[in-house]
């Protein structure tokens, strides 16, 4: 196994820069530059290479089995100038047996050495990319290993059910003292309830990770673009009195109550002879239908809406600044009702986010669906009471393999290069 090194902190000028070294020669490599400190005790050392002082740095050593990668590791906490980092990296590259790490190689070694499972690695990637409080909390929850703990508990029940079924196969020519079907069916029913509950929360978890979409829809000149600008706090969309000004979907990404939200300003919904406007209206309708939440901006309470609102959608009156009635309305021009509207968006999306489960990637959701399908097939065979036990055992093995693949224990080699390519070199 090679010993690798890389800059683990961001590039550019900083107060501190961290260089990470991992592999069987990590400690010996550091010894080329300074006296080694005690394990897991930071010590100030002068880094000397070929008679030249490179920097004065904090040096940390970690033993194999007690580091992020599971290998003998070291960290050099340098002064964060570009020149210092470049000189130290150049010196490390001159040490025999060391090479620059590839993207995500430190984390990949953590997976290979059993320090993290694949779900934790995906949680770590999300934590690095987190932009909102909800994304941070969700990523930390997955990184903590709670999904792996649940999968292990499910695996125990699956192993028990499979063992009972296998017993009936092994002793097919003998009298099995008890009927195992009731216990196997009870185990499968319990597992199905837990796995389905996790699947139910998958969409909300994915939306926290990827962001919710909120579409503003209404007739031309309803004030949609002005409202979008007010919500975004900047002039993201062109506004005018000319109907049909907005021809395409305009997107603005923002943080609402700790959630990542993309606001969509759609073309005014109306029949038009203008071919370009027709395309804009069609795109707006399509995006509005797919959005997580829609804000219908009306000119009057009895206005007929082209798109039917769903139960949780917001239907509000616009242009409060020129209304003479006392009804609740909003105005992007003066800001009247905008705070209330943001609060309503936050409340509705927060309610959905509260149901989020631990499945944060489509890959995980597909694996869970495969596990559920295997269990459903096994239970159906047991209920029929005529299926061969070998078929029931095969269904249980499908479920077990799906859960193991989700955690990165089998059949994931083709995924690893893609996953780790998103990591920086020093991670």
CA distance 182 to 171: 18
Residue 244 assigned ligand-binding role: yes
Asked if residue 23 belongs to a known ligand binding site, the reply is no
- 245 is known to lie in a ligand binding site: yes
Is 324 marked as a binding-site residue?
no
Check residue 411 and give left, alpha or beta (phi > 0: left; psi -120 to 50: alpha).
left
Annotated binding residue at 334? no
Query: Residue 222, annotated ligand binder?
Result: yes
The CB-side HSE value for 177 (13 A sphere, CA atoms) comes to: 0
Q: Which two tokens stand for residue 23?
A: 């592999």
| Residue closest to 369 by CA, chosen among 105, 143, 127, 192 | 192
Find the helix or strand (DSSP H, E) in which 160 lies.
helix 146-170
Residue 20 marked as a ligand binder: yes
The two structure tokens encoding residue 373: 């399908």
Strand ranges, E, within 113-241: 212-218
Instruction: Write out the two tokens for 165.
Output: 């079924």
3 is in an annotated binding site: no
**Rounded to an integer, what distance in angstroms lies between the CA atom of residue 396 and that of residue 160?**
10
Other beta carbons within 10 Å of 162: 21
Q: Annotation-wise, does 75 bind a ligand?
A: yes
CA distance 80 to 17: 4
105 in a known ligand binding site: no
On whether 69 is known to bind a ligand per the annotation, the reply is no
- 115 labeled binding residue: yes
98-131 burial, b at 16+ Cβ within 10 Å, e below that, comes to beebebbbbbbbbbebebbbbbbbbbbbbbeebe
Residue 427 annotated in ligand binding: yes
User: 299 a known binding residue?
Assistant: no
Token digits of residue 220: 């031309």
State yes or no: 240 annotated in a binding site: yes
262 annotated ligand binder: no
Would you say 225 is a known binding-site residue? Answer: yes
Name, in order, each residue with C-beta under 8 angstroms of 400's C-beta and a sequence gap of 6 or more: 155, 158, 159, 162, 371
On whether 132 is known to bind a ligand per the annotation, the reply is no
Annotation: binding site: 20, 75, 115, 221-226, 240-246, 265-268, 427
Query: Which residues are part of a known binding site for (6S)-5-formyl-5,6,7,8-tetrahydrofolate?
Result: 20, 75, 115, 427
**Binding site for Mg(2+), residues?**
225, 246
Mark the binding-site residues for K(+), compressed into ranges.
221, 240, 242, 245
Binding-site members for GTP are 221-226, 240-246, 265-268
């Amino acid at each position: 196994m090679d010993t690798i090194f890389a800059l683990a902190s961001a590039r550019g000028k900083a107060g501190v820069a961290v260089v990470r070294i991992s592999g069987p020669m990590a400690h010996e490599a550091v010894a080329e530059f300074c006296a080694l400190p005690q394990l897991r005790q930071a010590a100030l050392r002068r880094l000397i290479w070929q008679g030249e002082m490179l920097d004065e740095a904090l040096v940390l050593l970690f033993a194999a089995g007690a580091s992020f990668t599971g290998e003998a590791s070291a960290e050099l906490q340098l002064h964060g100038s570009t020149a210092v980092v470049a000189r130290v990296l150049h010196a490390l590259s001159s040490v025999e047996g060391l090479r620059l790490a590839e993207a995500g190689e430190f984390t990949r070694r953590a997976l290979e050495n059993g320090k993290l499972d694949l779900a934790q690695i995906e949680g770590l990637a999300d934590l690095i990319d987190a932009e909102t409080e909800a994304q941070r909390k969700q990523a930390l929850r997955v990184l903590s290993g709670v999904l792996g703990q649940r999968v292990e508990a499910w695996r125990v029940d699956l192993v028990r059910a499979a063992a009972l079924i296998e017993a009936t196969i092994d002793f097919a020519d003998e009298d099995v003292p008890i009927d195992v079907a009731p216990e196997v069916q009870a185990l499968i029913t319990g597992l199905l309830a837990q796995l389905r509950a996790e699947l139910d929360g998958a969409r909300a978890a994915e939306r926290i990770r990827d962001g919710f979409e909120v579409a503003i829809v209404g007739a031309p000149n309803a004030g949609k673009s002005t409202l979008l600008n007010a919500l975004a706090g900047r002039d993201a969309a062109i506004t005018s009195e000319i109907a049909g000004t907005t021809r395409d979907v305009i997107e603005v990404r923002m943080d609402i109550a700790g959630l990542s939200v993309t606001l969509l300003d759609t073309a005014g919904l109306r029949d038009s002879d203008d071919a370009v406007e027709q395309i804009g209206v069609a795109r707006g309708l399509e995006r509005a239908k797919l959005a997580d939440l829609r804000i219908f901006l009306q000119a009057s309470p009895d206005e007929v809406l082209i798109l039917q609102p769903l139960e949780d959608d917001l239907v509000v009156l616009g242009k409060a600044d020129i209304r003479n009635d006392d009804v609740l309305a909003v105005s992007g021009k003066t800001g009247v009702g905008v705070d209330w509207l943001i609060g309503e968006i936050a409340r509705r999306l927060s309610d959905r986010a509260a149901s989020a489960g631990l499945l944060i990637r489509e890959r995980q959701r597909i694996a869970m669906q495969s596990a559920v399908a295997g269990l459903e097939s096994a239970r159906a065979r047991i209920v029929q009471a005529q299926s061969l036990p070998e078929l029931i055992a095969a269904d249980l093995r499908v479920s077990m393999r799906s859960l193991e693949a989700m955690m990165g224990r089998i059949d994931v080699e083709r995924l690893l290069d893609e996953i780790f390519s998103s990591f920086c070199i020093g991670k």
